[in-house]
Chain A
Amino acid sequence: MPIRRDRDAARNVDEQARPALVPADARARDPVVTASSLTKGYGDVVAVDDVTFSLEAGTVTGFLGPNGAGKTTTLRLLLGLAEPTAGEALVFGRRYRELDDPARRVGAVLESNDFHPGRCGRDHLRTLALAAEIPRARVEEVLELVELEPVAARRVKTYSLGMRQRLGLAGALLGDPELLILDEPANGLDPAGVHWLRGFLRHFAEQGRTVLVASHVLAEVAQTVEKVMIIDRGRLLTSGPLADLTERGQTLEQVYLELTAGEAS
C-alpha cells in the first residue's frame, strides 16, 4: 500500500495512532515532553519544520531519520541548548531552562565525545556532579553501572568510542533522571555493549521512566522501542506505535524507506 507523504498524511497517522498509544490511566497525566509546532531555521534553511509530538511516561520512543533530517536540532531545542524560531518545546510542562533541578529530571547525551581529552573519566563526572549538587558517591555508582570503574582514573583520550559512549551515559544518569534523551547511543558499541544498552533502556522504562532515542540504525531501534517517530528534512512524517506502522507485514525498514525516499525526490 502506498503511503501518502504530505504533512497532512503524517498528521493523520499521528492522530489515528494516539488513542492506542496512551493507556487509559496515563491519559490524565501530563506528557513528559511536548513539542508544539516546533520550528528552527538557520538563515534560509529550515532544520526543524512545524514539528508537533508528545511523549508519555514509561515509553521508549525511537526518533528516526536520515543524517541531517533534524533529529539533533529537535533534541537541542528540547534541552534548551537552542532557541526555536517558532513554536515551543516543554519538558515536564516547562521550558528546560526553567526547570528547577534539571539534572534530576532529565539526562541527555547529544554527542559521543563531549569530554576534555586530558581529564580523567571520574573527574569529568565530578565536575558535572558538583554543578548539580549531586553527592560524590553517586559518581562511583554510575561508574559502576556503566562498568567504567577500572578506567575511571585514566584520561579520556585513552578511551575507546564505546567507553566514551558509556561515560556520556554515566553523566546523563548522575541525577537519576525520569527522562533520558540519547542521540545515536549505540554508535561505537560492540554487540555486547548494544545488548547491554537495550536491556538498560528497557529496564529504565519499566520503572515508569521515559526514553527518547534518536538513531539512524533501524535494526537496533526495532528491537528496543515501542513507539517510533520518523523525521526527514525537518518534517515529522509519521509517529505512532511500532506495531501499528508494521501491522501490514512491512518491516520498519520498508516503512522508513518509503517515507523518506518520497521526501528526497
Chain B
Amino acid sequence: MTAQLRSELLKHRSTFTNLGLLLAMLALVLLAVLLHALSLPADRLDSASNQVQVFRFGPLLGALFAGLVGALSITGEIRHGTIRPTFLMTPRRERVVAAKIVASGLVGIVFGLVAVGVAVGVGSVALAARGIPVTLDGGDYILMPAGGIAAAALWAPIGLGLGALLRNQVATLVAIFLWLFFIENLFLDFVPGAGRFAPGAAAAAITGLDPDRLLAPSLGALLLALYAAAAAAAGAIATLRRDVP
C-alpha cells in the first residue's frame, strides 16, 4: 500500500485544489472569529463558555474542510475520470481506498492544525485588544489544538466514505455542508439529547470547549472514530462491489 499512498499524496500536492480549499478555510476562520471577538458585547465574552463562541469556529471549519478534502479525493477522480487509470494501475481497489483514507487524513491534519491555530491565535489577540481576559487555561491550549487536529483527521475518512457512496461531487459537498451547518443544528436545538451524538457535535466535543452541551472529549473522540470507521468501511465496500464509472 506504500506505493498507492505515495501516489495519493502526489495527487494531493500536484493540483491547486487543496491550496484553494486551505485559503477558503482561512478566510472563513478569520471572518467568523473576528466578527465574534470584535462585535459581541464585552459582557457576553467574559466567561469561558461565552468565549467558546469565538474559538469553536477553528475546530468546526477544520473538520468541515478535512471532510471536503476526503470527499474530493474520491469524487474528484470520478468526475475527471482519473479513477479509471488509477484502478488500471491498482486493480485491487481496497489498496487504493486505504491509501486515500491515510492520505486525506494526513492532509486533514494539516487543515485542522491551521484552522485551530489561526482561531486560537487571532481570537486571543482580538480579545486582548479589547481588554477582555482570555479564560482559556493551559489545558485548553493543549486540548483544543489536539482535539481540532483529531477531529479533522477523522472527518477526512467520513467525507471520503460519503463521496465513495454518493460518487457525485456536488451532491457530496452539499450533503456535508447541509449536515454540519443545518441538520445538526436543528438536532442540537430541538433534540439535544440525540444531537450531541451526531458526527459534527462529536468533533466539537473532542476540543473540550463546550462540555455542558456536548459529550466529554474522550467520548466524543471514540464516537467520531466509530463514525469514521463506519463511513470508510461503507465507502470501501461500495467501491469494491460496484463497477467503476
Chain A residues near B3 (CB, 8 Å)? 130-133
Question: Could you tell me the distance between the alpha carbons of A80 and B243 in the complex, rounded to whole angstroms?
Answer: 8
Total interface residues on B, CB under 8 Å, equals: 26
Q: Would B86 and A131 count as touching, CB distance under 8 A?
A: yes
Residues A157-199 near B (CB distance < 8 A): 171
Chain A residues near B16 (CB, 8 Å)? 118
Question: Could you tell me the distance between the alpha carbons of A61 and B120 in the complex, rounded to whole angstroms?
Answer: 64
Residues A83-123 near B (CB distance < 8 A): 83, 96-97, 99, 102-103, 106, 108, 110-111, 113-120, 123
Contact with A116, one of B7, B76, B90, B91 (Cβ below 8 angstroms):
B76
Q: Would A96 and B10 count as touching, CB distance under 8 A?
A: no
Chain A residues near B244 (CB, 8 Å)? 76, 81-82
A73's closest neighbor in chain B, by CB?
B243
| 1/0 contact string of B4-23 vs chain A (CB within 8 Å) | 10110011001111000000
Residues B33-80 near A (CB distance < 8 A): 76, 80
B245's closest neighbor in chain A, by CB?
A81
Chain B residues near A130 (CB, 8 Å)? 3, 6-7, 10
Chain B residues near A80 (CB, 8 Å)? 87, 91
A79 is an interface residue with CB less than 8 A from chain B: yes
The answer to whether residues A126 and B10 also contact, given A81-B243, A82-B243, A119-B15 and a CB cut-off of 8 A, is yes
Q: Would B76 and A81 count as touching, CB distance under 8 A?
A: no
Q: Would A114 and B89 count as touching, CB distance under 8 A?
A: no
Chain A residues near B86 (CB, 8 Å)? 127-128, 131
Chain A residues near B85 (CB, 8 Å)? 114, 128, 171
Q: Would A83 and B243 count as touching, CB distance under 8 A?
A: yes
Contact with B14, one of A127, A131, A133 (Cβ below 8 angstroms):
A127
Q: Would B91 and A114 count as touching, CB distance under 8 A?
A: no
Question: Could you tell me the distance between the alpha carbons of A42 and B10 in the complex, rounded to whole angstroms?
Answer: 36
Q: Would A131 and B90 count as touching, CB distance under 8 A?
A: yes
Contact with B7, one of A99, A102, A128, A171 (Cβ below 8 angstroms):
A128
Question: Could you tell me the distance between the alpha carbons of A127 and B96 in the complex, rounded to whole angstroms?
Answer: 12
Chain A residues near B91 (CB, 8 Å)? 79-80, 96-97, 99, 102
Question: Could you tell me the distance between the alpha carbons of A123 and B9 in the complex, rounded to whole angstroms?
Answer: 12
Q: Would B84 and A111 count as touching, CB distance under 8 A?
A: yes
Chain A residues near B142 (CB, 8 Å)? none
Question: Could you tell me the distance between the alpha carbons of A124 and B80 in the complex, rounded to whole angstroms?
Answer: 12
Q: Would A108 and B88 count as touching, CB distance under 8 A?
A: yes
A99's closest neighbor in chain B, by CB?
B91
Footprint of A on B, CB under 8 Å? Answer: 3-4, 6-7, 10-11, 14-17, 76, 80-82, 84-92, 96, 243-244
Which 4 pairs show the lowest CB-CB distances between chains A and B? Answer: A114-B81, A131-B7, A123-B14, A130-B7
Footprint of B on A, CB under 8 Å? Answer: 76, 79-83, 96-97, 99, 102-103, 106, 108, 110-111, 113-120, 123-124, 126-128, 130-133, 171
- List 29 A-B residue pairs with CB atoms under 8 Å apart, sorted by A's residue number: A76-B244, A79-B88, A79-B91, A81-B88, A81-B244, A96-B91, A97-B92, A102-B89, A106-B88, A111-B81, A113-B81, A114-B81, A114-B82, A115-B82, A116-B82, A118-B15, A118-B16, A120-B14, A123-B14, A126-B14, A127-B7, A127-B10, A127-B86, A128-B7, A128-B89, A130-B3, A130-B6, A131-B3, A132-B90
